[in-house]
Amino acid sequence: MKKKTERIALIGLLGALALVLGILENLLPPLPGMPPGAKAGLSNLVTMFAAGAIGLPAALFIAAIKGLFAFLTRGVSAGLMSLCGGLLSTLIMGILWKKTKFTPVFIGVCGAFGHNLAQLLVALWMTGFGALGYIPALALYSVVCGICTGLLLQVLLPLLEKLPVLKK
């Protein structure tokens, strides 16, 4: 019973951390030349860590909470893009984390591409083919932001793995 309670508490804490990182990220000014609403993906650190440390279902739950929060705070369009991008990104990162020996940097880049791909598909569905013009910027942004989030997780991972709740 204690392990289950600890796991639920950890998922709750990681979900809250993802929301806080998302809020902080929204306070940052947009980068010049980037598509409207483009974010660095700081909260993806949490889902990437969760996918590797506590499993894909928990990480997908955290991604869904992030998407729901975007619905509530930024509206339907942002919520749909956040939900779809977060779920696909987390799915990709979770599969790569468990099934391969890739580094967090590579996994971060793949997750960023997945996030942007899902958001692009939502934008195409909502607005038509005009969103295709964002592909070059999104591709570049995926690489840069994926590398940054992957490197940050790679640095934090030794500290995070020392958490007593993650000890097997």
The model's pLDDT over 75-103, given as tens digits with 9 standing for 90+, comes to 998 899 999 999 999 999 999 998 888 99
Query: What mean pLDDT is reported for the chain?
Result: 88
CA distances from 12 to 18, 47, 62, 65, 100 (A): 10, 12, 8, 10, 27
Assessment of whether the complete model's pTM goes beyond 0.85:
yes
pLDDT for 165 beyond 80: no
Alpha-carbon 51 to chain mean position: 10
Q: The tokens of 73 are what? A: 């705070």
How far apart are alpha carbons 16 and 115 in whole angstroms?
A: 20
Q: pLDDT-based confidence at 41, cuts 50/70/90?
A: confident
How far the first Cα of the chain sits from its last, in Å, is: 15
Tokens standing for 88? 């696909």
Reference 37, options 81, 86, 90; nearest CA is: 81
> Which string of b and e fits 81-105 if b means at least 16 CB within 10 Å?
bbbbbbbbbbbbbbebbeeeeeebb
Residues whose CB falls within 8 Å of the CB of residue 153, separated by 6 or more in sequence, listed in order:
45, 48, 49, 104, 108
pLDDT in tens, 118-156: 988 998 898 888 778 878 888 888 898 899 999 999 999
Query: What's the pLDDT score for residue 17?
Result: 93
pLDDT value at position 49? 93
Mean predicted confidence (pLDDT) in 34-59 = 86
28-32, 65-69, 105-109, 142-146: lowest mean pLDDT where?
Answer: 28-32
